Structure 1
Amino acid sequence: MKKQLLLFVFAIFFVACKPKQTVTNTKLDNKSERLIKGDWQVSSVSYVGSDVFKVTSFNIADAKCFEGSQWNFVSNNNTGEMVLNKANCVTYGSRITWFINKDGNFVMKFLTEGVKAKHTAGGYVLRIANQTETSFQLIDRASVGSNSAEIVYQFDKINK
């Protein structure tokens, strides 16, 4: 009986001490973050795997409406802003918080005025690719029927 009780207590302790698991790695890739510092523009949005569908990006607008959007990334505090202003599309602007983790993921939240980032539940995880000092890509995945496709946002540095 004592062995069963001891085993039961040990099992509860083991379960209670299980480390918290997260969806994304939070170890930062500081080198990649520093490369992204500054002002950027989305020069193109393309679909890999299919070109016959429409995607609403970030629950804001059609993905193609992000072409020409302006983005600012501040790497020392992982904040920034983005503005959509393409003709015939919704006009939208928001502060953002973001980071790049060691897995090559770009993790971002759109912030509501007056609400702190820690109180903003939803966010987005995109893969960062082909990063240079003057360009990079953010790649999102979308379900298309029973298949999936990638949405590629091409960012180019704005020289001011």
Structure 2
Amino acid sequence: MKNKAYILILMVSLVLTSCGLSKENKDNRKTLDGTWKLTNIDYQNNEGYFKSILFNDVSAKCFRGSEWFFRSNNSTGYYNILDGGECSPGQRNIRWSIQDDANGTPNRFQFKFIDEKKNDISGGYGYVFQINSLSPQQMVISADASVGAETVTVVYQFTKIASLR
């Protein structure tokens, strides 16, 4: 009987430790806690003028200056479009995560839309970005987008304006 209990405890502890986030991932999640301002959107790997609708929501110019809030303890947050007019101002709720690569290094940021009760409203679809850099004051993420037969990298630059702590 003792052997069965020992094996059960060993298996439970193995499952709990293997399912946890890496220390670096937890640190990155805590770094994101707070309010950020989207200060710049840049298009790389292609030339020309781009008029884009981001996240199937509003144009890129509406996102400049938008506020983004992240809470790591429940992986929720929102972004708030501040400009009126054609920009459809208001808050959009999100659930977010940071994903590790095969080596356990956090390298991707993801978000999906949720409602006020934190239910998924995007049918399981979301947006995934490479984390180019993340510090307590700044974050740069990017994602590739197709423009005709070309690929353009959209780069988002954020500055932290308030921490949760």
User: Which residue of structure 2 lines up, in the alignment, with residue 53 of structure 1?
Assistant: 50
TM-score (norm 2): 0.73
Q: TM-score, normalised by structure 1?
A: 0.75
User: Quick one: distance in 1 between partners of 2:38 and 2:118?
Assistant: 26
DSSP-derived class of the 2:134 partner: coil
Mapped to 2, the partners of 1:30 and 1:69 lie a distance apart of 25
Q: Does 1:102 align with 2:100?
A: yes
- Between the aligned partners of 2:75 and 2:67, the Cα distance in structure 1 is 17
1:64-98 CA deviation, whole Å, 9 max, x = no partner? Answer: 21110001100111111110112442213111100
Aligned equivalent of 1:122: 125
The alignment yields a C-alpha RMSD, in angstroms, of 2.2
Indicate the percent of aligned positions where both proteins have the same amino acid. Answer: 32
**Which structure has the greater CA radius of gyration?**
1
Alignment match of 2:75 (pick from 75, 78, 83): 78
- How many residue pairs get matched? 135
Structure 1, unaligned runs of 5 or more: 1-25
Indicate if the aligned counterparts of 2:113 and 2:122 stay in contact, CA closer than 8 A: no
Amino acid at match of 1:36: L
* Counterpart Cα distance in 1 of 2:60 and 2:150: 18
**Is 1:30 matched with 2:33?**
no
- Describe the SS at the equivalent of 1:117: coil
